[in-house]
Amino acid sequence: MVTKFKNWVKGEKKFWEVNRKYERLVKQLIDHWDLDEEVDFSGFYLRTDYFSTLEANQELGDEIDLNMTEVHALLIDVFNNFKLYYDEMLRIASTQFLNFMHTTIDAKIKSITHPDPQFTHRKMYAFHGHDSTLSTILAAVEQKQQTHCPFSSQIFVEVWQKAGEWTLHLTYLIHSWVF
C-alpha cells in the first residue's frame, strides 16, 4: 500500500514543483554522498537523523557546506508534500498511536469515578518518538509545521477538567533539552 501512495504522490504536479525547488541541494547531496542519480527530494527523509546529529555536534559545516535553513525546509516538505500528502496517508501513519493515546486517556478519566489500579495513581504518561512521529502527530491534529521538528523536540498532552468538561491541551516544545 505504501508503494501505491508513493507512486500516486509522484504523479502529482505539486510533487515535481517541490522537487524542482530543491534541485541544487539534492544534486549537492547526491554528489557528496555518491548516491544513485534517481534520488529526488523525497529520498532524504531517511537521512534526517544524520542531519540532526551533525547539526547538534556543530560538525555539519566541516563536512559539507549546506544551507541548514534549506535542509530544514526540504525535510518538512518531505513530510507535508510526500509522506503526508494525502489525508489517507496521514490517517494510516497516525491512527494506531492516536488510538492508543485516546484509549489511555479515556481509561485515566474513567478511573476517577471507577477506580482502576492500573490508571488511578498515574499522573503522567510519556510517549517518545522520532521527528517523523512528531511531524505526523502534529499534522494529525491539523498543526502541520513549516519547519522540521528538530532533535529533542517534545509534545506534551495534558488532560484538564474544568466545570465538569474534559479538554486536551497540546504543547509543542522545540529543542527542549533536559538535563
**What's the chain look like in SS3?**
CHHHHHHHHHCCHHHHHHHHHCHHHHHHHHHHHCCCCCCCHHHHHHHHHHHHHHHHCCCHHHHCCCCHHHHHHHHHHHHHHHHCCCHHHHHHHHHHHHHHHHHHHHHHHHHHHCCCCCCCCCCCCCCCCCHHHHHHHHHHCCCCCCCCCCCCCEEEEEEEEECCEEEEEEEEECCCCCC
Which of 59, 83, 107 is where one domain is finished?
Answer: 83
Reply yes or no on whether the pLDDT at 60 is more than 60: no
pLDDT band at 48 (very low <50, low <70, confident <90, very high): low
Tens-digit pLDDT profile for residues 9-24: 888 898 889 889 988 8
pLDDT band at 2 (very low <50, low <70, confident <90, very high): low
Q: Is residue 178 part of a domain?
A: no
pLDDT band at 112 (very low <50, low <70, confident <90, very high): confident
Could you tell me the residue range of the domain that residue 113 belongs to? Answer: 93-173
Q: Is residue 179 part of a domain?
A: no
pLDDT band at 177 (very low <50, low <70, confident <90, very high): low
Which of 57, 83, 109 is where one domain is finished?
Answer: 83
Which of 83, 112, 129 is where one domain is finished?
Answer: 83
Q: Is residue 45 part of a domain?
A: yes
Over residues 60-76, the mean pLDDT reads 71
Domains: count for the chain: 2
Same domain, 97 and 165: yes
Reply yes or no on whether the pLDDT at 86 is more than 80: no
Over residues 43-71, the mean pLDDT reads 66
pLDDT band at 54 (very low <50, low <70, confident <90, very high): low
Reply yes or no on whether the pLDDT at 133 is more than 70: yes
Reply yes or no on whether the pLDDT at 111 is more than 60: yes
Same domain, 66 and 107: no
Same domain, 52 and 32: yes
Q: Is residue 168 part of a domain?
A: yes
Over residues 76-103, the mean pLDDT reads 80
Mean pLDDT, the chain, integer: 78
Q: Is residue 155 part of a domain?
A: yes
Same domain, 78 and 102: no
